[in-house]
Structure 1
Amino acid sequence: MSFFRGWRYTAFITGFVGFIGLALYPIAISPMMDASDYRAIQKEARKNIKQEDIQPGNMKVWTDPFGRKKPESE
């Protein structure tokens, strides 16, 4: 059995790392760069669900912890 040496070893390692990168791109990188497709799917899937009805333990529905205030109209 012969082992890779020199440029063949470098080409093998580069190809292997490139293959892993290509396999992970649609799974991990693409959704993080553009989440609009996933937001649309989530919006469609949850359109008939009222969050107040399914909230466990009578807990308050999530609100913004930083308390951004809406501008007051005069």
Structure 2
Amino acid sequence: MSVLKGWKYVAFISAFVGSIGLATYPIIIYPMTHVEEYKKAQEINRSQLDQARVLPSSMNVWTDPFERKND
């Protein structure tokens, strides 16, 4: 097995870091930059759900985490 030196080492490290970046983009970066799209999807998915019936009696009904609280 040969040791990577010079431009081959740089190419290997660049490919490694680039592949990690490509793998994390759809998981981390895209949802953070398109918040409105995900809020709409949650609203559509939860419109038919009766939250009071699904949750145990000791838990509160889910609220919107994006809503600002007025103190």
TM-score when normalising by structure 1: 0.67
Q: Could you list the runs of 5+ residues in structure 1 that have no partner in the other structure?
A: 70-74
Structure 2 runs not aligned, ≥5 long: none
Write the distance in 2 (CA, Å) between the matches of 1:57 and 1:7.
63
Q: Percent identity?
A: 44
Q: Secondary structure of 1:68's partner?
A: coil
Tell me the residue number matched to 1:72. none
Q: Which residue of structure 2 lines up, in the alignment, with residue 53 of structure 1?
A: 53
* TM value normalised by structure 2: 0.69
Count of aligned positions: 68
Task: Give the greater-gyration-radius structure (CA).
Answer: 1
**Higher RCO, Cα 8 Å, sep 6+:** 2
